[in-house]
Amino acid sequence: MRRVPDPAPHPDAGRAAGPGGHAASASVFTAGGNTAARIRSRRGPKIAPDPARPIAHFREEERRLDGSRAVVLHVLLAGAECPFTCIYCDLWRRTLDGPTPAGAIPRQLAVALRETGPLPATCGVKLYNASNFFDPRAVPPGDDASIAALLQPFDRVTVECHPRLVGRRCLAFADRIPGRLEVAMGLETADAATLARLNKGMTLEDFDRAAARLTRAGIALRAFVLLPAPFVPAARAVESALDAVRYAVDRGAGHVTLIPSRDGNGAMERLREQGQWTPPVWNLIEEATDRCAPISNAVVTVDLWDTDRFLTCRHCRTARIARLRRFNDTGSPGPPVRCSACPSSS
Ligand code: SF4
């Protein structure tokens, strides 16, 4: 799970589980029946994207493990909805109902490349399609050659994919591009029982197998971790996220992004009502980043998309956001921000 610019309030933000922690059998999502259907029944309408052009493209600088910083072109692709139905996911909101039309993805990428203009000598690209790059319904395999041809300018190419869809096509795609392929996979949590409740259709063993396959092939691994995952008791929110970061790094992830969990998909609102998820507060995000700062064998960042919604104090808001930007840029957040006007100041 990660960000997608959206005209409506967008997700990729977190929560801390409520007082009950594991309120399992009371949940409408775990009381039996078809869990995916129950999650889907709470959805609002989609905002149908135009498959003729990317949803968005923009540049950001990103820290690499060697300490350097590189420009990364982000291309948010319009395509088919993911076949999984994770309970926390809202990425379906800007997807097509049917399969991605053949030729649409290379056309969208070409539009982004034309519109973004000249690229620096060292530049990465992220192709995020709100689904799985190696799902044939999302990215028709017949388009792989044309996509690869457009990726010549990039020394690193990041795509996202569910661990169960990392297979031979992924390895073949890595061989087609001149840059290094990086596959971003959602680990979300390292707690097997919690993971099962996320309806992600994945076990920790699935993640491990995909991670091993990628690293054996020389493909880089990036992981997403929810801060916190639903069903994690509030008191364990930071510790649980740290466990997941360490788990991913131990399996070869060179970059882990903490995703503050968010509502907006209907299901998360229901979990919050049930006390099974509480949106994360800023102090929790800061505590998690502070605890991740000593990790030196991977880049750890926090997704700051729309995070200013967590901050209401006009006195310290800018400084606190800047502190987390510094964490992302350097790996070190620096001293905490003190604010006499804000009771939640760190
Ligand atoms: S696998 Fe990713 S895109 Fe698919 S439902 Fe889960 S979080 Fe959303």
User: Residue 148 to residues 99, 128, 142, 144: CA-CA distances in angstroms?
Assistant: 20, 15, 11, 6
Give 304 Cα–ligand 1 centroid separation in angstroms. Answer: 19
pLDDT at residue 310 in the model: 80
Give 159 Cα–ligand 1 centroid separation in angstroms. Answer: 13
For 162-173, b where at least 16 C-beta lie within 10 A, e where not — what string?
A: bbbbbeebbbeb
| Mean per-residue pLDDT over the chain, rounded | 90
- Asked whether residue 207 carries a pLDDT value surpassing 60, the answer given is yes
Domain covering 24-330 in this structure, CATH number: 3.20.20.70
Ligand 1 atom nearest residue 85's Cα: 5
Give 134 Cα–ligand 1 centroid separation in angstroms. Answer: 13
Residue 182 backbone dihedrals phi, psi, to 5 degrees: -125, 130
**What are the boundaries of each domain within the chain?**
24-330
- Asked whether residue 213 carries a pLDDT value surpassing 70, the answer given is yes
For ligand 1, mutation pick of 95, 162, 165, 257 (most atoms within 8 Å of CB) = 162
84 pocket-lining for ligand 1 (C-beta < 6 Å): yes
pLDDT at residue 126 in the model: 98
Strand arrangement of the beta sheet that strand 56-63 belongs to? 56-63, 69-76, 123-128, 156-160, 180-188, 220-227, 253-260, 299-302
131 pocket-lining for ligand 1 (C-beta < 6 Å): yes
Please, which pLDDT band fits residue 306 given cuts at 50, 70 and 90?
Answer: confident
Cα-based angle 105, 103, 222 (whole degrees, multiple of 5): 25
pLDDT at residue 223 in the model: 98
Ligand 1 atom nearest residue 1's Cα: 7
18 pocket-lining for ligand 1 (C-beta < 6 Å): no
